[in-house]
């Protein structure tokens, strides 16, 4: 008999999942134990383990490890042990196992990953200007221009190795692109390392006029080509 799937669903061979959040990239950490899912004590969820979980689930970088209470109480038992990860493993099941670090447990651990797995500038004449494109769990689309502003652009330009933003152009200046036009409103201060660290809200309906994709000209302070930040970027098109 197949194991019933509850959101977020995972493949039958999946070992970890995040539950109780708004999507697959945030929630209480649970691991598969036989035919059941069990929580992991918050004392056993460190940054290295969280990095592995985010990678296994196809999410972006770790945003926070908020501990217990953020996503509700665990409904079943807790994993009797912990994980010794170095942060580079492809799956949490590849990490070494270890005995619990302390007796008892204050509550289930949780992880918040970014749902964004890449940022790039597309359809420009150089790697430092173009349409603002973002990948959400591997699917590329364009960002709506309605709330895209200069601080957002500064963070993106710095992230792709193009210095600071020179200007934010009218929506659609580099075309609408392929894939969804995402109604994501970034609230960057300008100091974040990459746009995935910025607060994000979803625009109200109608979320974005067709073709109104954000467009940026960067200063090109580090050259005219987009530079790689491993695991969190995409090549310009």
Tens of pLDDT, residue by residue, the chain (237 residues): 333 444 444 444 589 999 999 889 999 999 998 888 999 999 889 999 999 999 999 999 899 999 787 887 776 778 888 899 999 999 999 999 988 766 678 788 999 999 999 999 998 777 899 999 999 988 999 999 999 999 999 999 999 999 999 999 999 999 988 899 998 999 999 999 889 889 898 877 677 888 999 999 999 844 333 333 333 344 334
- The answer to whether 226 touches 235, Cβ cutoff 8 Å, is yes
- The answer to whether 71 touches 20, Cβ cutoff 8 Å, is yes
In a shared domain, residues 67 and 27: yes
106 falls within a domain: yes
229 falls within a domain: no
Find the domain containing 31 and state its range.
Answer: 16-113
Let me know the angle formed at the C-alpha of 90 by 127 and 50, rounded to the nearest 5 degrees.
Answer: 90
236 falls within a domain: no
User: Residue 153 in 3-state DSSP?
Assistant: helix
* Predicted local confidence at residue 4, as pLDDT: 42
List the structure tokens of 105: 């447990």
188 falls within a domain: yes
Domain count for the chain = 2
In a shared domain, residues 92 and 133: no
> What is the CATH number for 197?
3.10.250.10
pTM to 2 decimals?
Answer: 0.76
Is the bond preceding residue 206 a cis peptide, omega within 30 degrees?
Answer: yes
233 falls within a domain: no
20 falls within a domain: yes
């Amino acid at each position: 008999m197949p194991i019933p799937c509850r959101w977020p669903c995972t493949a039958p061979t999946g070992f970890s999942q995040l539950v109780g959040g708004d999507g697959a990239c945030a929630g209480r950490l649970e691991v598969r134990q036989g035919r059941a899912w069990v929580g992991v004590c918050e004392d056993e969820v460190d940054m290295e383990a969280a990095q592995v979980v985010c990678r296994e689930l196809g999410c972006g970088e770790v945003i926070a490890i908020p501990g217990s209470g953020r996503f509700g109480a665990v409904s079943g038992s807790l994993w009797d042990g912990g994980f010794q990860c170095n942060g580079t493993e492809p799956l949490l099941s590849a990490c070494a196992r270890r005995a619990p670090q302390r007796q008892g447990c204050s509550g289930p651990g949780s992880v918040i990953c970014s749902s964004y797995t890449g940022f790039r500038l597309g359809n420009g004449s150089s790697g430092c200007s173009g349409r603002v494109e973002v990948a959400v769990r591997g699917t590329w689309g364009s960002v709506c221009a309605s709330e895209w502003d200069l601080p957002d652009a500064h963070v993106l330009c710095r992230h792709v190795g193009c210095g600071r933003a020179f200007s934010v152009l009218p929506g659609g200046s580099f075309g609408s692109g392929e894939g969804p036009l995402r109604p994501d409103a970034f609230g960057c201060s300008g100091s974040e390392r990459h746009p995935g660290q910025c607060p994000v809200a979803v625009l109200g309906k109608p979320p974005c006029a067709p073709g109104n994709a954000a467009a940026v000209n960067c200063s090109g302070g580090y050259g005219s080509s987009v530079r790689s930040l491993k695991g969190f970027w995409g090549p310009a098109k």
